Amino acid sequence: MKRTRTQLADGRELFYFDHNDRPVRTLTDPRPLPSVSTTSQMRHDPLLDEWVVMASHRQQRTHLPPADRCPLCPSRDGKQTEIPSADYDVVVFENRFPSLSTMATTTPAGSPLVPARPATGRCEVVCFSSRHDASFATLAPAQARLVVDAWADRTRELSGLPGVEQVFCFENRGEEIGVTLSHPHGQIYAYPFVTPRTSRMLAVAGRHTSNQRGDLFADVLAEERAGPRVVVESEHWTAFVPAAARWPVEVHMFPHRQVPDIPALSDAERDDFVHVYLDVLRRFDALYSAPLPYIAAWQQAPVRVGRDQAYLHLQLFSIRRAADKLKYLAGSESAMGAFITDVLPEEVAERLRRAEPSSALPEGER
């Protein structure tokens, strides 16, 4: 893998990730760009003991532009985009409308009960392919593996930034999810705090261990591997519908070896992940007559706490509960955090096992 670093016209970093040393990428961004906003702030919710990020400048971010004005496509035919080069394999760059910024300087007025501080951190965009009509499910295995290596590179580097406590790699796919750019891409957030979900999982896992019941994550994986909800299993990974799934279609992917984060995965584990993940994504898209909207969320260990206890895994879920129906978070889910599901996990697992992924999807072997 070749990594090339450059800066965009407003000072944001951009990284080209290429399969080999041959490509020469354009490094100069000729656009006259305004400065990136650094006004994000955080306020602490005293009732839930959680930080809430406020980034009002994001109201101005690009929203569903036509394909010929996509900011994530390569710069071609006189049209300058976020990527200066006329082609690329995988690109990662700092978000132009970040929720978190290493340059955040706003000092909001807080109080002893509700403290506030600048929302320091970093938000990056990961472009999976230069093809506007691609998706992660249509990537060739070598291209998907390059994305995994880019995730590992950025996780490692962002974890070293001052004040960063957790790195979150994720993909939102589909307008139903709220995606504002249709080009195949994901994002990476470097948080200045440990997220609520991770904090709770580690606390529960700690109680499980203290009760001399072993490792919670390993116990869950062992029980699921022996049960009826496995969708795909390989040498290094198992993809299963969790017994207490909250979403209409939900799959968790666990490596068979406990590791804290993506950089800790071996080459064999990364290759095997690509095989299983592409299989699962294509099964998702085979469930209905249209591609399934989803969120793919990497659950990585925090930077400084809980690393021996955490267990890297991927949570993949969709809000589509039927071909023409979406799962909306109504009163019980939104107000109380108490999920009520419409389908049994065992039925979802069986449907995914029966789904036949298209064999004609990959965008071309490299």
Catalytic residue ranges: 185
Half-sphere exposure of 324 (CA within 13 A, CB side): 0
- The two tokens of residue 272 are 């095997």
Q: Which residue in 345, 188, 361, 335 sits closest to 261, CA to CA?
A: 188
Give start and end residues of each alpha helix (H) in the chain: 141-159, 196-210, 216-225, 267-286, 336, 345-354
CA 285 to chain centre: 18
Angstrom distance (rounded) from CA 256 to CA 151? 20
User: Torsion angle of alpha carbons 274, 355, 136, 168, nearest 10°?
Assistant: -70
Could you tell me if 312 and 169 are in contact, meaning their C-beta atoms sit under 8 angstroms apart? no
- The two tokens of residue 290 are 């249209």
Residue 196 CB: number of other CB atoms within 10 A? 13
22 three-class SS = coil
Q: Which residue in 303, 296, 361 sits closest to 147, CA to CA?
A: 296
The owner of tokens 């020469």 is 24
**What is the rounded end-to-end Cα distance, in angstroms, of the chain?**
13
- The two tokens of residue 205 are 């896992």
Residue 59 CB: number of other CB atoms within 10 A? 8
Q: In which order are the strands placed within the sheet that holds 116-118?
A: 50-54, 41-45, 116-118
Strand 230-233 relative to strand 13-18, pairing: unpaired
Angstrom distance (rounded) from CA 281 to CA 249? 11
